Structure 1
Amino acid sequence: MSLLKAIFLGIFQGVTEFLPISSSGHLVLLQKLFGIDEGNLFFTVMLHFGTLISILIVYFKDIVSIIGEFNKFIVELLKDKKIEIDNEYRKLGIMIIIGSIPTALMGILLENIFESFYNTTIIIGLALIFTGILLWIAEKIKLGKKSIRKMTVKDALVIGTFQGMAITPGLSRSGSTIVGGLFMGLNKKNATRFSFLLALPATFGASLLELSKALNTNFSEVSFLIVIVGIFSSCITGIFSIKFLIRVLEKGKLYYFSYYVWFLGLIVVLLELIK
C-alpha cells in the first residue's frame, strides 16, 4: 500500500465516519462500484482507532469528567451510600451505558442479518435514501429543550436502538443517533454531544472484535509508517468533520446532507434495477 492510498483512505474514513452519510455504505460502494478495496484488515481497524481518537480529542473534557464521576459512583455503590445522580457528567455516563445496551444486543443477535446487507447493494441504496429522510425530518422537528440532566432511561434506550439500526450499511450512525436524540426532545447541542460520546463504547468494542480477527491474518504487508499515516489522517480529518457537523447543526442545515444521500441512494438503486 502506498502512502498516498493510506492518506486517501484515512481522509475517507474521517469524513464518512462522522458526517451523516454512512461510512460503511460508502466503503461497500467504493469496493463494488469503483473496484477499490479497503486493503489490509489490520490497517482498516487502525483507521477506526484514528476516528476514535478524534472523539477523545474533541470531547476530552467531557470524557475525563464522565470517568471521574463514574468512579465516584462505583465507590458510593460499594460503600452502600445513598446513590445520587446529582450532576450532568454522572447522568451522562449512566445514559451512555444504558444506550449501549440495545446497540450491543442488536449487534450480537442480528449479526448474520446485518452482515448479509453488505452483499446486497440495493439495500445500501435504500438505506441511504432512508438516511436522507431522517435528516430531512430532523430539521422539521420542533426544537427540543431537554438537557442531559433531564434525560430518561427511555431516551437512552431509543437513541441506542437508532445506533443499533445504523449497523446497516448505508444508514448513518451519527445521523441516526442525532435524529434519535432530537426525536426524544434533546436540544441540538446535547443530541450531537450524546451521539458522539455514545459512539465511543460501540466503536471501541467493534474495533477490538475486528482487531482480534486482524491479528489472525497477515498484516506484514502494511508498514508501521503506513499505519501511522493512516491513523493520523483519519484522526485529523475526523476532528474537522465533527466540528463541521456541529456548525451545520447549529445553523439548521442538517438537511443539506439529505440531497447528497438521496442522490447517491437513487443512483445505486437504479443501477441495481437495470442490471
Structure 2
Amino acid sequence: MNWIEAIVLGIFQGVAEFLPISSSGHLALLQHMFGITEGNLFFTEMLHFGTLISIVIVYFEDVKRIVIEFLSLLGNLLTGRKIGDLTDHQRLGLLIIAGSVPTAIIGITFEDFFESLYTSLIPIGIALLVTGFLLWFAEKKGTENKDIQKMSLVDSLIIGTFQGLAIIPGISRSGSTIVAGLLRGLKKPLTTEFSFLLALPATFGAFLMGIIKVFKGGDGVIVNTPLVVGVILSTGVGIVSIKALIKILNRNKLHYFSYYLWIVGAITIISQLI
C-alpha cells in the first residue's frame, strides 16, 4: 500500500461511508482500479474503524447519554425499582439494540453470498442503480411525523433490516437506513441520528469479525505511516461527511445523489460488458 492509494482510499472511505453512495461499492471499484488484493484486508478494516470514530465524535453527547441512561434503566430493573416513562435516550438505546438484531442475522446468515458478489463489478453496478432509485423514491414519497417517542419497535426492525441488506456491495448503508426511516415517517433529524447511531454496533461488529478473519487467514498486519494517514483521513473526512449529509437531507437535496449513482452504476456495468 503506497501513499497515493492510502490517501485516495482514506478519503473515499470517509466520504462514501456516510454520504449515501456506498463505501463498499466505491472501495471495490477503487481496489479494482489499483489492483489491490485481499492481502490489504487489514487496511480496509482499519479504514472502517476510522469512520466508526467519526460517528462517536459527531454524536458524542448522544452516545454518552444513551450509555448513562441505559445503564440507569438496567440498574432499576435489576434492583426492582419502579420504572416510569422512558426518556428519549433510553428509548433510543433500546431501539438501536432492537434494530441491530435483524442486521446481525442477515450479516451472519448471508455473509458468504454477499462476499461472492465482490468477484464481479456488474452486481455492484446494479446495486448502485438500485440505491439511486431508493434515494429518489424515499425523498419524494416519505412523510415526517414521528419523533423518538412515536418511533416504534417495528420501525427499528425495518430500518435494521435495510441496514442488513446494505451488506450487498453497492447498496449504501446510510442511504438504505435513511430511506427506511423516511418511508416509516420519521422526522429527518431523527432519521439521520438513528441511521448513524445504528451503524455503531454494526460497524464495530463487522470490524471485529474482519480483524479475526485477518489473523485466521494469515493476512499481513502491517502498521505503517500510509495506514495511519488513511485512518486519520477516513475519520476526518467522515466527520465532515456526516455534517454535510445532515444539511443536505434537511434541504431536501437527497435526490441529487441518485443522479450520481445512476451515472456511476451505468458506467460500471457498461465497462464490464464492452
Global fold match (TM > 0.5): yes
How much does 1:37 deviate?
5.0
Contact (CA 8 Å) 1:38, 1:44: kept in 2 or not?
Answer: no
SS of match in other structure, 2:81: coil
How much does 1:218 deviate?
4.7
Taking a change above 3 Å as real, the CA distance of residues 122 and 218 of structure 1, as seen in their structure-2 partners, is closer
Q: Name 1:219's counterpart in structure 2.
A: 220
Q: Name 1:12's counterpart in structure 2.
A: 12
Superposition TM-score, scaled by structure 2 size: 0.94
CA distance in 2, matches of 1:185, 1:150: 10
Q: Name 1:206's counterpart in structure 2.
A: 206
Contact (CA 8 Å) 1:128, 1:262: kept in 2 or not?
Answer: yes
Matching residue's letter, 2:220: F
Q: Name 1:252's counterpart in structure 2.
A: 252
Taking a change above 3 Å as real, the CA distance of residues 47 and 187 of structure 1, as seen in their structure-2 partners, is same
SS of match in other structure, 2:143: coil
Q: Name 1:107's counterpart in structure 2.
A: 107
* Aligned residues: CA RMSD: 1.7
Stretches of structure 1 that go unaligned for 5 or more consecutive residues are: none
Q: Name 2:196's counterpart in structure 1.
A: 196
% identity of equivalent residues: 56
1:26-65 equivalent positions in 2, closer than 5 A: 26-33=26-33, 35-37=35-37, 40-65=40-65
Superposition TM-score, scaled by structure 1 size: 0.94
Taking a change above 3 Å as real, the CA distance of residues 231 and 248 of structure 1, as seen in their structure-2 partners, is same
How much does 1:226 deviate?
2.9
Q: Name 2:238's counterpart in structure 1.
A: 238
How much does 1:131 deviate?
0.4
Please say which of residues 120-129 and 15-24 is displaced more in the overlay.
120-129
Matching residue's letter, 2:232: F
Matched, 1:154 2:168: no
Please say which of residues 145-154 and 77-86 is displaced more in the overlay.
77-86
Cα deviations across residues 5-61 of structure 1 (Å, max 9, x unaligned)?
322221111011111010111111223345355762222211111100000000000
Matching residue's letter, 1:112: D
Please say which of residues 181-190 and 75-84 is displaced more in the overlay.
75-84
Matching residue's letter, 1:219: G
CA distance in 2, matches of 1:250, 1:38: 39
Contact (CA 8 Å) 1:40, 1:222: kept in 2 or not?
Answer: no
CA distance in 1, matches of 2:110, 2:220: 29
Taking a change above 3 Å as real, the CA distance of residues 218 and 172 of structure 1, as seen in their structure-2 partners, is closer
Matching residue's letter, 1:22: S
Stretches of structure 2 that go unaligned for 5 or more consecutive residues are: none
Cα deviations across residues 80-122 of structure 1 (Å, max 9, x unaligned)?
2333442100000000000000000001111122112112322
Q: How many residues are treated as equivalent by the alignment?
A: 273
Matching residue's letter, 2:172: S
Please say which of residues 117-126 and 15-24 is displaced more in the overlay.
117-126
